[in-house]
Amino acid sequence: MSATDIVSLGAAALREKLARGDLTAVDVAAACLQRIKTEEPRVQAWAFSDRDLVMRQAEAADQRRLAGPPLGPLHGLPVGVKDIIDTADMPTENGTIIDAGRRPSEDATIVARLRAAGAIIMGKSVTTELANYWPGKTRNPHDAERTPGGSSSGSAAAVAAGMVPLAIGTQTFGSVIRPASFCGIVGFKPTHGLIPRTGVLKLSAPLDTIGVFANSVHDAALLVDALAGHDAGDPDTRVAAPPRLSDIAESDPPVAPRFAFVKTPAWDEAETATKDGFAELVEVLSERCSEVTLSDPFADWTTAHRILMQAEMARNLEAYYRRKEGLSEQITGALDSGMAVSATDYLAALACRDALSRELDRLLGRYDAIITPAAAGEAPEGLGSTGNPIFNGLWTLCGVPAVTLPLLTGPNGLPVGVQLVGRRGEDGRLLRTARWLSEALRQAGQDASVVLGEKP
């Protein structure tokens, strides 16, 4: 196979060829490195990439296969890792000049699990400054004059540009779902606490969630299966057997799923083409979809999210704050605001989160998934912002799983994601529903341009 053919394959297809011996890990790694060499000058997705280190990993993977022991579930698959996740053999600079040259002494738990699963770590993908709003250097692969989103900008762009089949990001507001939407790939933010965060830059423990990027729902599930599970270093993980998401995602639902179309209180911020596209999507789903209005308490979710995010950031990033001459005004302002949050307001925000989570759990007891925008529209022009995360933060606050599918196309021919939200802890059911929706639209002949009312 040519390098072009190899990088066009998804993770599941590559895994099968690697397992059969049709491809070696060296073949796959070399193809991805060639793609990086071609695309990186334009996309700039990587904070660190070392060809020799990658090839040594690939050669070791091939030697393990020849030696005969059982292979890991990600054997030979290249994965990009966001540059706020510690790696012992690569720098982790957290998107800030303050950490320039920082070399962690050990791997984050999820990096250790990647290695144990046989993955090839291709490098560290660009993050915005301290995983916040100030943009990094990465550009959108579909249009280099537009943002790829953030803060997991490099991870999303690397998958969308075909540099890697899989990548890891994090979400505290909308940092997985939004960039996946802008870049036209699958982004999955699991239930809060499903994947451990030990060794990952901490912003806000009640909100921080590890997420993944892939080209299909199945591929995303394969990666999460290798990462999920209890870790003593992260008290939000659960002592329970991790779910087999890939098996559930590939299964058929017992009955056709039912969807709740939720505009959210941010609907006025959606672009006209996005509103029109969702109107047509709801029409296509017909009796399988009902419009549902969230109750009044949801109107103030942004206040609770802001307090939890800023107060926790002020605590967790205090060491950076003391050296704020290296920080952007945006970060400094957020930390200033966090320092001023009272204990009463913080506890009220936690209570609001818990109340909204219970209400959402009741709603999702009647539907398989909520369907809602992943972003206001296409990736905005310009590189001075990572776009508006307003359609993501509510689901992050409530800790529920969310996935975005590249099902729509905007008026400029750029991707627009359809976000599905599931019940807390029912990640497999959500991914199964997402796969059902993708296949149902394809079988109905509803490609992206038709759904949005643009010409085919």
Q: What torsion do the CA atoms of 4, 66, 19, 211 make, to the nearest 10 degrees? A: -80
Count Cβ atoms below 10 Å from residue 276 Cβ, excluding itself: 17
* 368's tokens: 């398989």
Are 12 and 45 spatial neighbours (Cβ–Cβ below 8 Å)? no
Distance, in Å, from the CA atom of 346 to the CA atom of 311, rounded to the nearest integer, reads 7
Residues forming beta bridges with residue 212, ordered by sequence position:
168, 188
124 by DSSP, 3-state: which? strand
End-to-end CA distance of the chain: 32
**Residue owning tokens 């990465």:** 138
* pLDDT the model gives residue 68: 85
- Chain-centroid distance of CA 292 in Å reads 26
Query: 152 and 132 in contact (C-beta within 8 Å)?
Result: no
Query: Is-contact 213 166, C-beta < 8 A?
Result: yes
Domain parsing of the chain, residue ranges: 1-70+78-229+257-456
Dig out the tokens for 202 from the structure.
């901490």
Residues in the chain: 456
Tell me which H or E stretch contains 37.
helix 25-43
Separation CA 236–CA 210 (nearest Å):
12
Residue 113 to residue 231: CA distance in whole angstroms: 11
Residue 51, Cβ density class (10 Å: 0-12 exposed, 13-18 middle, ≥19 buried):
middle
- The residues that are catalytic are 82, 151, 175
Give the per-residue pLDDT at 444.
Answer: 77
Q: Are 405 and 417 contacting, i.e. CB atoms less than 8 angstroms apart? A: yes
SS3 164: coil
**Three-state secondary structure string covering 236-292:** CCCCCCCCCHHHHHHCCCCCCCCEEECCCCCHHHCCHHHHHHHHHHHHHHHHHEEEC
Q: What is the pLDDT of residue 251?
A: 96
Q: Which two tokens stand for residue 274?
A: 């996005």
Q: Kind of pairing, strands 120-125 and 166-171?
A: unpaired
Block residue for tokens 């993501």 = 392
Tokens 């966001």, located at residue: 82
Angle at 158 between CA 388 and CA 60, to 5 degrees: 145
Nearest Cα residue to 388 out of 396, 399, 398, 380: 380
Cα–Cα nearest to 156, from 311, 368, 296, 171: 171
- Tokens representing residue 66 in the block: 């020849």
Q: How far apart are CA 207 and CA 216, in angstroms?
A: 25
Dihedral, CA atoms, 423, 427, 431, 433, nearest 10 degrees?
-30
pLDDT value of residue 17: 97
Name the DSSP class of 317: T
Residue 325 is predicted with a pLDDT of 85
The answer to whether the CB of 158 falls within 8 A of the CB of 150 is no
Residue of 155, 7, 31, 12 lying closest to 74 (CA atoms): 12
Pairing assessment for the beta strands 166-171 and 78-82 based on DSSP bridges: parallel
**∠ CA(292), CA(298), CA(302), 5° rounding?**
130
Q: Looking at domain 1-70+78-229+257-456, which CATH architecture does it have?
A: Alpha-Beta Complex (3.90)
Compute the distance between CA of residue 158 and CA of residue 39 in angstroms, rounded to an integer. 9
- Least Cα distance to 188 among 163, 201, 171, 200 occurs for 171
Hey, is 27 helix, strand or coil?
helix
Dist. CA 278–CA 264, nearest whole Å: 13
- For the chain, 456 residues long, give each residue's pLDDT as a single digit of tens: 999 999 999 999 999 999 999 999 999 999 999 999 999 999 999 999 999 999 999 999 999 999 988 999 999 999 999 999 999 999 999 999 999 999 999 999 999 999 999 999 999 999 999 999 899 999 999 999 999 999 999 999 999 999 999 999 999 999 999 999 999 999 999 999 999 999 999 999 999 999 999 999 999 999 999 999 999 999 999 998 888 999 999 999 999 999 999 999 999 999 999 999 999 999 999 999 999 999 999 999 999 999 999 999 999 999 999 987 899 999 999 999 999 999 999 999 999 999 999 999 999 999 999 999 999 999 999 999 999 999 999 999 999 999 999 999 999 999 999 999 999 999 999 999 999 999 999 887 754 444 443 433
Question: Measuring CA to CA, how many Å separate 18 from each of 24, 79, 169?
Answer: 6, 15, 25
